[in-house]
Amino acid sequence: MKPILVFQTDFTYKESSVCAMYGVVKSVDRELEIMDGTHEIPQYDIWSASYRLFQSMRFWPRGTIFVSVVDPGVGTPRRASIAKTADGYFVVTPDNGALTHVKQSSGILEVREIDESVNRLRGKNTEETNVFHGRDLFGYCAAKLASGSITYEQVGPAYPVDEIVTLPIHQPKLENGKVSGIFEIGDPNFGNLWTNIPLSLFAEAGFAYGDFLHLTIRRKGKVVLAEKILFHKSFGYAQKGEVIIYNNELMKISLAVSQGSFSERYNMSFGPEWEVEFEEKPV
């Protein structure tokens, strides 16, 4: 069977960019199956693009080809790449940091730079534009690879995996009974905020479902929230409107308002400036 193509972008569906990319894929091979990851990544947010790949990739059949286009440097000398992961997937993306989480979590065996001289869309009056590589380069080359009209080696020249551009990843820690980390991503539909703290670190600290933990959130070092919050396995263990600490589907500690929005209530977002700390008793 031919590989599935899974697309994610920051394009939205407000105009026809996604449609044009899919038209190119179907022009290469009408049998190719196209699925959406998301087209609602915040504009130019390479970090979120990287995280969303990590979030969903392992749930797809091996051999799936992911096309991730969040490309504020489109048309510049940044590399256009196809990476082969250690667990059997391909990622077609600008090499601008979008491979950060996949490289850390899955590992990358090989990466190749797309050779535009042979693997760029031609003959559609696109030769003189450099602002839509999602259509003319990434989507087109991914379709050629999925259709079998080129091999991975024919994508373009390989370059060292160590040269892949990565973004800083902050590590959580357990120290003096306190577990600390950052908000590393958000759940935009429900307003939950996900930390970089694995559930295993809570277990190591002795925290258990049903505990009330003291939560401290700092922004740029300044305390913006300090409360005692229930830690439990799901939202329904808190009353409607109450804050709850839970572990999400990626086994990361997260914060929510039951049937509400944590990020909206407290006007919070994610990134390294948002520091989170949990302990059984406040100092």
**pLDDT tens-digit profile of 127-157?**
889 999 999 999 999 999 999 999 999 999 9
User: What pLDDT shows up at residue 273?
Assistant: 96
Is this prediction's pTM over 0.75? yes
Q: Do 125 and 10 share a structural domain? A: yes
In a domain, 154, yes or no: yes
**Number of domains the chain contains:** 2
Beta bridge partners of 69: 9
Q: Do 9 and 29 share a structural domain? A: yes
Position 196 pLDDT exceeds 90: yes
Q: Do 99 and 17 share a structural domain? A: yes
In a domain, 23, yes or no: yes
Q: Do 231 and 114 share a structural domain? A: no
Q: What CATH code is carried by the domain that includes residue 42?
A: 3.40.50.10790
User: What pLDDT shows up at residue 281?
Assistant: 75
Q: Do 211 and 124 share a structural domain? A: no
In a domain, 168, yes or no: no
Q: Which of 93, 128, 163 is the last residue of a domain?
A: 163
In a domain, 83, yes or no: yes
User: What pLDDT shows up at residue 165?
Assistant: 98
Distance CA 37, CA 35 (A): 7
Q: Which of 141, 163, 185 is the last residue of a domain?
A: 163
Tens-digit pLDDT profile for residues 205-247: 999 999 999 999 999 999 999 999 999 999 999 999 999 999 9
Indicate the range of 119-123, 124-128, 232-236 predicted with least confidence.
124-128
Q: What CATH code is carried by the domain that includes residue 193?
A: 2.40.30.90
Q: Which of 113, 145, 163 is the last residue of a domain?
A: 163
In a domain, 19, yes or no: yes
Domain that holds residue 63: 5-163
Q: Do 150 and 31 share a structural domain? A: yes
Q: Do 143 and 58 share a structural domain? A: yes
Position 282 pLDDT exceeds 80: no
